[in-house]
Structure formats: C-alpha cells, structure tokens
Structure 1
Amino acid sequence: MNNAIDWEKAYKNLEEQIEFIMKETEHLIANTPPVLKINKILVDRSNGYTSLIVNATGSNMMYACYLYENKTKKELVKTPYQYSNSFVFQLPKGKYFARVFVKANHNNKQKVVDTITFNA
C-alpha cells in the first residue's frame, strides 16, 4: 500500500480551481450586503460642545438620535434621520443618555438601536 501524495499533481489541481474560487467569492461579496450594526458610539467633549459619533456597518445608512436628561428622563432633542453619523449638542454640565437609531436608507424596515449614557 502506497500512501505517497503527488504534491505536484495536487498543486496543479488547486491551481486550476483558484480562478473559479476567486470569481465565486467576488460574486458572493458583491451580492451580500453588510449586516446593519452599531459597532460603537463615541463621545467627544470639546469647546463646550458634546458630540456623539456613531460607528456602524451597513450600506446606505441614515442616523437619528433622541437625547434625554438622565435623571428626569425628559426628552431634550429628537433629531430626524440624516446621512451624517455625528450629532453635536451644546449641553450644560450633567448626565444624559441618548438613543441612537441607524437604518438602511433603501429599506426602512431594517433598523438598529443602541443607547449610551454620558456626562457633558
């Protein structure tokens, strides 16, 4: 019984299939939209302004933000959907929370939401 592997033949066989594999992979990537997801919400405080910057994945995304005072849960700002992924607020010192919404522009039914609590 001979268990020797013909590596040259195996390599040539793989080489013949690589172009097909690459084209199939390219087709799959091009036709599979990225999953809509909020990765992270960053808070940036500078010059008296607080910015929320949304890092999300998806395609043709739009963003909205609802801002609340943390203690009273009073809604302070309700932004409409926009193409920009950042929101800038001039807030007095205090604790706040925001609900951030991201939707796929081409499909209003696909939406994700995340909440962040922060100090201004």
Structure 2
Amino acid sequence: FIPNISSNTRWENNGIIVAGGNGSGDAENQLEYPYDVYVDDDQTLYISDYGNNRIMEWKAGSKSGQVVAGGHGRGTQECQLNTPRGVILDKEMDALIICDAGNGRVTRWSRQNRT
C-alpha cells in the first residue's frame, strides 16, 4: 500500500505528551526509559517501561497510568520482569504478551488476574 499524500501536505512540527512527561521515575505518572508502546482499539497505551521493569497501562487523556505487569523490581520470578522491551495485546486470550528481554523469555500476562 502506498498512501496518496499530496505534495502540499504540511506536517505538524511538534507533538503532545500522551504519557509520562513528569521526569524519569517510578511513580504512576512517570516512566523510566519507555521502550515500546502498543495502542489498543480504545486508544489505551500499553508501555514497556524498560527502566522500571514493568508494563504500564495508560488510558487516553489520563495524567497517570497503572502497572499491569511487573513492577516488583527486576528479577526472574513469575511476578517480575527484567528490562521488558516489547508488549502486544492478544485480544483473543485477553492477555499481554511481553518480551522480557533481560530474562530471555516471552511471557503472557492475563488482563483478568492483576494481583
């Protein structure tokens, strides 16, 4: 597919912050080296927060997100991630599929069981 873009098209020179923007850190309104993002059908962002070893869910228009995977420090236990580098949503299984790079594994986290 090659889009038909007019030669008169002008691109916006600046962007707007849709997640984070409150300095680096581990609070729910901060990110530390966001590495990857997946956008759901309802514009919810799933952000691979590499530096905090967690996946953040950020609803459209929200000022903060919530941890939906990891967030228990870097480690190898099932409740932990180690420098996650990718995230997608498996809609059929209602689960996040996470590239847990530091542990050399790919994990599936159910969105139904967030304990």
TM-score range, shorter chain: under 0.3
Higher strand share: 1
Flag the structure with larger Rg.
1
Whose RCO is larger (CA < 8 A, sep 6+)?
1
Q: Give TM-score, length-normalised by structure 2.
A: 0.23
Higher helix share: 1
